[in-house]
Chain A
Amino acid sequence: MLIEEKANQNVFSESLIGLAENDPEVIVATSDSRGSGKLIPFAETYPKQIVEVGIAEQNLVGISAGLASAGKKVFVVSPSCFLTARSLEQVKNDVAYSDHPVKLVGISAGVSYGALGSTHHSIHDLAVLRAINNLTIIVPADNFETREAVKYAYRSKEPVYIRLGKKPMYTLHSEHSRFEIGKAITVKKGNDLAFIATGETVYRAYQAAQLLNQEGIHARVISMHTIKPLDKEAIVKAAKECSSIITVEEHFVHGGLGEACAGCLMEAGYSISFKIAGIPDEYTVTGSQDEILSNYGISGEGLRDMAKKY
């Protein structure tokens, strides 16, 4: 049984307070987004370390690039739908290309905002950000990965994007797990098939693997927390050892984890039964996050059924 824990966003904001306590150079930049980012305690504790720009996400990223170039350790916190679409040029030119170590934190990512509709969904972000040089992309699956991602971003001298959701997660790792950028973590062993999942879909893949276990099918579950750089070794190893691969992501089927894995396998000379589970190229069904994901088979049962077909 999986144990419920906090929302990754909450863990992120708690981690920030820990960092700011020892380092006055830590700055949080927001665009009327401190409430959604769970940053009100941060703002109350360190009022001098929060920069508010109003509802102006392009300005937000530009200002943060400036702050970072002058030595501040800036965490930019804004809904990922706006941060990675509206501010994309600032991310590309002012952060990545100009090489300022801004820490971009996209909150309420994927379809977290559910019935607020497509303007508020962020299912394009991995595709567009993968196409930008000099940007590490991290999509934590649980609270442990979130804490580690924040630690990494804090130390990093390079631009980083962290993608977070707002729903409580489930514990997938023990505190002894090792987190290393660019190294996937195997959450469950198995050689019949492999789920390569990322972010908040990892626990769904894990649930599918548990259901498959009951039928004597042993699925490997891999948490691909770093989308760039991708852990090619883990992907090739899965292709060698398992008879099929299903990638799982809370993202459009184009340009995300699935296509990144497919490209990696083709280049390595592997041809294997392969399926990308994600949001298909259609007018996204409306509803809550859970309803949307389940509608597209991204649930324990849905992924189990998919696994039996591939």
Chain B
Amino acid sequence: MALDDISNLEKKSVEYRRRILKCIKKANTGHTAGSLSCVDILNVLYNRIMNVSPENFRESDRDRYIQSKGHSVEALFVVLSDRGFFPESDLDTFSKFQSHYVGHPTRKVNGIEHNTGALGHGLSVSAGIALAGKMDGADYNVYTLLGDGELAEGSNWEAFMTASHYNLDNLLAIVDYNKLQITGPVQEVYNLEPFRDRMESFGWEVREVDGHNLAEMEKVFSRIPFNKEKPNLVIAHTIKGKGVSFMEDNYKWHHKVPNDKEYDQALNELVL
């Protein structure tokens, strides 16, 4: 990708982060740090990788995106509105009475493939769609985003096995590997390591990326299948709260809303 393309994408990431905070501040609720953690991944997927748009969203050959870590819905809403699925002003109703823009993705919102919010569901559903793609000889891919805390749910490991059993090389699972969950560091809550080895032993082809490096992610995501007949996993090393100094790597920002002063400071930091 040309350099100016990447700087355009980088501009988007800054703008997305500002909009995420605006949305959360206005509603006075939201999952702040997890959205800032994954928004660069969404930026690359929606603007560079996936064949999905408001125009083809009803077509059966579109690429599918399922956000298993549904709580980071603000990032998804902001990116979807930027891609033209709905007007940005819709987000003024986020979490308000009778609004479909609730705190987790629902199919009432244009562009959302599947309702999530209870962790540990998205990967099974994604594997199901990928399996149907194989049955139909379709050439779409399925992309899903998981949290690292979320991986404690046993259902993920069942789906990991199904995906390799059926050779779902049209499935890319990306783990937002920010090493934090609500209670604190993932590694203090439960033992996920050695994660990469575990995934390889489950029959997945694994890559690791810097989850805030847009060019690197584009390069890696665009190369699936990494290895024919194997499902694809990317461990995206991220920083929870990325972009706002006092939120970065601080688990207390999981679902904290910035006060007025913090909000102003955050916006001051989020400039090009």
| Chain A residues with a Cβ under 8 A of chain B | 30-36, 52-56, 58-59, 81-82, 85-86, 113, 115-120, 285-288, 291, 295
Interface of A, helix, strand, loop or mixed by DSSP: loop
B98 touches A55 (CB 8 A): no
Chain A residues with CB below 8 A from B153, complex form:
55-56
Q: How far is the CA of A119 from the CA of B150 in the complex (A)?
A: 15
Q: How far is the CA of A52 from the CA of B100 in the complex (A)?
A: 34
> Closest chain A residue to B116 by CB distance?
A119
Chain A residues with CB below 8 A from B27, complex form:
115
| Chain B residues with a Cβ under 8 A of chain A | 27, 29, 70, 95-100, 102-104, 106, 115-120, 149-150, 152-154, 181-183, 189-190
Chain A residues with CB below 8 A from B189, complex form:
32, 52, 54
11 A-B pairs with CB atoms under 8 Å apart are: A31-B152, A32-B189, A35-B183, A53-B190, A54-B181, A55-B153, A115-B99, A118-B117, A119-B115, A120-B117, A287-B99
B104 touches A56 (CB 8 A): no
B117 touches A286 (CB 8 A): no
Q: How far is the CA of A30 from the CA of B100 in the complex (A)?
A: 31
A216 CB to closest chain B CB, in angstroms?
Answer: 34
Contact (A58, B70) CB under 8 Å given A81-B118, A115-B95: no
A117 touches B104 (CB 8 A): yes
Chain B residues with CB below 8 A from A113, complex form:
103
Q: How far is the CA of A52 from the CA of B182 in the complex (A)?
A: 12
Contact (A115, B182) CB under 8 Å given A54-B149, A55-B152: no
Chain B residues with CB below 8 A from A58, complex form:
154
> Closest chain A residue to B182 by CB distance?
A32
Q: How far is the CA of A288 from the CA of B95 in the complex (A)?
A: 8
Other A-B contacts than A85-B118, A119-B104, 15 sampled, CB-CB below 8 A, are: A32-B189, A33-B182, A35-B182, A52-B183, A53-B190, A55-B119, A56-B153, A56-B154, A58-B154, A86-B118, A113-B103, A115-B29, A117-B102, A286-B100, A291-B97
A116 touches B102 (CB 8 A): yes
Contact (A54, B152) CB under 8 Å given A115-B103, A119-B70: yes
Q: How far is the CA of A59 from the CA of B97 in the complex (A)?
A: 35
A43 CB to closest chain B CB, in angstroms?
Answer: 9
Q: How far is the CA of A48 from the CA of B153 in the complex (A)?
A: 24
Q: How far is the CA of A250 from the CA of B190 in the complex (A)?
A: 34
> Closest chain A residue to B181 by CB distance?
A32
> Closest chain B residue to A60 by CB distance?
B152
A59 touches B154 (CB 8 A): yes
Choose among A35, A56, A86, A286 the residue that contacts B98 (Cβ–Cβ < 8 A): A286
B97 touches A286 (CB 8 A): yes
Q: How far is the CA of A288 from the CA of B102 in the complex (A)?
A: 10
Chain A residues with CB below 8 A from B118, complex form:
81-82, 85-86, 119-120
B251 CB to closest chain A CB, in angstroms?
Answer: 10
> Closest chain B residue to A295 by CB distance?
B97
Chain B residues with CB below 8 A from A82, complex form:
118
B97 touches A55 (CB 8 A): no
Choose among B115, B117, B149, B190 the residue that contacts A116 (Cβ–Cβ < 8 A): B117
> Closest chain B residue to A116 by CB distance?
B103
> Closest chain A residue to B100 by CB distance?
A286
> Closest chain B residue to A31 by CB distance?
B152
Q: How far is the CA of A295 from the CA of B189 in the complex (A)?
A: 39
